[in-house]
A and B are shown apart, each in its own frame.
Chain A
Amino acid sequence: MIDSHAKRQARRLLRCVGALTLAGLLCGSLAAAASARAAKHASAPKPPAVLTLGFNDPELFSNFAPSDVAVGLSNAHTAGASIWRFFISWSLVSPAQPPSLAEAADPNWSGYNWASIDMTVRQIAAAGMTPLVALASAPAWAEGPDRPSSTVAPAGTWDPSATWYGAFARALATRYSGTFVDPAESAQPLPAVRDWEAWNEPNLAASLTPQWTASNQPASPAIYRGLLNAFYANVKAVAPQDVVAGGTTAPFGDPPGGQRMEPVTFWRSLLCLSAGANPHSDCHQRVYMDALAHHPYPLGPPTTHAVDPGDISVPDLGKITSLVPIAERAGTLLPKGPKPLWITELSWDSNPPNPNGLTPALQAEYLEGALYVLWKQGVSLIAWWNLRDDGPTPGWTNSLASGIYYDGTTPATDVPKPSYTAFSFPFTAYRTNGIATLWGMAPAPGPVAIQVENGTTWTTVITLTAGASRIFSGPLIVGTGTNLRAVSGADTSLTWTAF
Chain B
Amino acid sequence: MDRFLRSASLAFAAALALAIAPASAAGQPATGQGSTGQSHIVAPGDPGSAQYQEDVPTAAGSRPVTTLHPGSGTPQAAVPLPAPVVRTLDAKGTVGRQTVALAQAATPPAPKHAVVLRATTAATASLLASALLGSGGGAGALLPIVLALSLLIAILLTIRRRMR
Contact = CB atoms under 8 A, between A and B. Distances in A.
B46 A30 contact: no
Interface string B48-84: 1111111111000000000011011111111000000
Interface stretch (A137-145, A230-238, A301-309): A301-309
A160 to B, nearest CB: 19
B163 A22 contact: no
B1 A25 contact: no
A499 interface: yes
Interface stretch (A76-84, A90-98, A356-364): A356-364
B109 interface: yes
A298 B115 contact: no
B105 A301 contact: yes
A15 B56 contact: no
B52 A297 contact: yes
Contacts of B111: 435, 437, 474-475
Contacts of B46: 297-300, 348-349
Given A301-B69, A357-B45, A431-B107, A475 B115 contact: yes
Interface stretch (A63-71, A164-172, A250-258): A250-258
Contacts of A254: 55
A252 B53 contact: yes
B107 to A, nearest CB: 5
Interface stretch (B20-28, B88-96, B137-145): B137-145
B47 to A, nearest CB: 6
A434 B126 contact: yes
A446 B9 CA distance: 57
Contacts of A347: 47
Interface residues of A, number: 88
Given A347-B47, A373-B108, A462-B115, A358 B55 contact: no
B51 A204 contact: yes
A456 to B, nearest CB: 19
- Contact-size category for B: 35 or more
Nearest to B53: A252
Interface string B108-144: 1111111111111011101100111011000011101
A432 B145 contact: no
B18 interface: no
A354 B42 CA distance: 14
Contacts of A303: 75, 105-108
Nearest to B143: A29
A308 B108 contact: no
Nearest to A7: B163
A298 B42 CA distance: 9
A466 B115 CA distance: 18
A34 B144 CA distance: 14
Contacts of A357: 44-45
B106 A315 contact: yes
A349 B53 CA distance: 14
Interface string A458-499: 000110000000000011111100100000000000001111
Given A362-B45, A369-B74, 7 more contacts: A18-B4, A18-B156, A30-B132, A299-B46, A432-B77, A434-B119, A474-B111
Interface of B: 1, 4, 8, 29-31, 35, 41-57, 68-69, 71-78, 101-102, 104-120, 122-124, 126-127, 130-132, 134-135, 140-142, 144-145, 148-149, 152, 156, 159-160, 163
Interface of A: 2, 7, 10-11, 14-15, 18, 21-22, 25-26, 28-30, 32-34, 36-37, 204, 206, 250-252, 254-255, 259-260, 297-308, 311, 313, 315, 347-351, 354, 356-359, 362-363, 365-366, 369, 372-373, 376, 395-398, 400, 402, 430-435, 437, 452, 461-462, 474-479, 482, 496-499
13 contacts: A25-B149, A32-B144, A252-B52, A299-B46, A299-B101, A307-B56, A308-B55, A373-B108, A475-B111, A475-B115, A476-B115, A482-B118, A496-B74
